[in-house]
Amino acid sequence: MSTPGRSGLVFSEPLLFERSRPGRRGPAVDPPDVPAADPRELLGELAREDIEGFPELSELDVVRHFTRLSQWNYSIDTGFFPLGSCTMKYNPKLNESVAALDGLANLHPLAADEDIQGLLALAHELESALAEVAGLDLVSLQPAAGAQGEFVGMAMIGAYHRQRGEPGRDRVLIPDTAHGTNPASAALNGMQVVEVPSGEDGLLHPGALEPHLDERVAALMLTNPNTLGLFESEVQALAERVHAAGGLVYLDGANMNALMGVARPGDMGVDVMHFNLHKTFSTPHGGGGPGSGPVAVRANLEPFLPSPVVRRDGDRFVLDGDRPLSIGRVHAFMGNAGIWLRALAYIRSNGAQGLREVTERAVLNANYLRACLADTYEAVGDPRVMHEVVLTDRRQQAHGVTTSDIAKRLMDHGYHPPTIYFPLVVNGALMIEPTETESLESIDGFIEAMLSIAQEASTDPEAVKSAPHRPIVRRLDEVRAARKPKLRWIPE
């Protein structure tokens, strides 16, 4: 049986409301042996006698409905998720259990420092571990996302220049291969964004900064690896020039799974950076849930860190909010503790050597994937990539097949599509991040699917252009879905 849904989509079974039958209900329970409360007394005129259109269903109807919906979802627990820049790797369930421990998850957010010594000790330990990975001195766990980490970093850089009597330093140099959130974070801090061009090889070279290194430069804001998946190899030389001109260097470290354990941004001259714990350290980024984007700084920026900071006082820990130069609080309580606790569990269970192996495998997997696909799809930049690879649809376009068609066709092969049309500097980009947790067999399966789509693009382009054929919904009207979203079910 087939029921057209409201949007004209064909679902193989009726939706929850359409299963409703008058009088059908769940299990009957005994009448209460205590006096029943009357909701009308509590709610007054807000109480409703009846909810119009409320579905009447058996327990089995409800269980089947929600179980089916859960199976329509694609998840990292069910398949490979090559969403470039998002690091959709598998994260061990152990980290979930640790973050859910009663003594952590059920702490009262307003509990006194003496009563949350365990949590403060864990925060302190994680800050030290992240500082070590960064090669910097201090860390704040407050920011809730990568982009908020950038915002906080830029706010600290602004405060640093003002404190030194140089309020006129308001320009931030950002290469055209940076992540899109970078210019937004600088602009939100009232800074002026100066876009600097990357070279033919996709990398930023010191010469490109030259025209902008004056008394107005506040910072260079660099994404490394950049959005082409390439390692910015001249960071040290870039940092020397920016420092000589009186500016600071910010690193967007959202993708530290390409560097951690192998190279430390602080050693390259970076002054401030953020992490995306919800990429590198055990929480999926594309999941849409809470995140954590800690910032790490060199000691000279310590006074400006968000307040309060976790400070060690003998064998006790305190939340120190007495910090006159701080940019202030940027998140309620202690940031998203559930996310940073997962990160600490991840770091502890991997150990220093394990983190290095994560990076090595992430980079190896991306390079293997690139080597297997670069004869078929045009690849961007230097053959040696970091943790992800950017391909283009240039060769397939000859058959009228575009990036979007390739992404849709991948669904028929059982894969979540990669990131598409990003980075913006590449026309028709497919950005693929295999991550370190995928086996050789699963990466080979994806490569086979990509090769078969390329083959099909030349022999039967219609099959690719009309994809997907298998998923529960076909091509959606993405513009209408964004402009006129239907947020509730309305009876036909």
Shortest Cβ 36–ligand PLP spacing (Å): 48
* Residue 204 found at the interface with ligand PLP (CB under 6 A): no
Shortest Cβ 144–ligand PLP spacing (Å): 8
* Residue 254 found at the interface with ligand PLP (CB under 6 A): yes
- 8: nearest Cα among 367, 474, 405: 474
* Residue 175 found at the interface with ligand PLP (CB under 6 A): no
| From 54-62, 63-71, 285-293, 446-454, span contacting ligand PLP (CB under 6 A) | 285-293
Shortest Cβ 335–ligand PLP spacing (Å): 13
* Residue 419 found at the interface with ligand PLP (CB under 6 A): no
* Residue 252 found at the interface with ligand PLP (CB under 6 A): yes
Q: From CA 72, how far away is CA 68, in angstroms rounded?
A: 6
Q: Are strands 272-275 and 248-253 parallel, antiparallel or unpaired?
A: parallel
* Residue 198 found at the interface with ligand PLP (CB under 6 A): no
Shortest Cβ 235–ligand PLP spacing (Å): 15
Which of 198, 223, 367, 396 touches ligand PLP (CB under 6 A)?
Answer: 223
* Residue 181 found at the interface with ligand PLP (CB under 6 A): yes
| From 63-71, 124-132, 241-249, 250-258, span contacting ligand PLP (CB under 6 A) | 250-258
- 304: nearest Cα among 101, 170, 138: 138
Which residue number places its CB atom closest to ligand PLP? 146
* Residue 147 found at the interface with ligand PLP (CB under 6 A): yes
Phi, psi values for residue 10, rounded to 5°: -105, 115
In the bound state with ligand PLP, the residue whose beta carbon lies nearer, of 181 and 307, is 181
| From 106-114, 134-142, 145-153, 445-453, span contacting ligand PLP (CB under 6 A) | 145-153
| Prior bond of 491 cis (ω within 30°) | no
Q: From CA 436, how far away is CA 364, in angstroms rounded?
A: 8
* Residue 146 found at the interface with ligand PLP (CB under 6 A): yes
* Residue 291 found at the interface with ligand PLP (CB under 6 A): yes
| From 154-162, 252-260, 415-423, 456-464, span contacting ligand PLP (CB under 6 A) | 252-260
Q: Which residues bind ligand PLP (CB under 6 A)?
A: 85, 145-147, 179, 181, 223, 252, 254-255, 276, 285, 291, 293
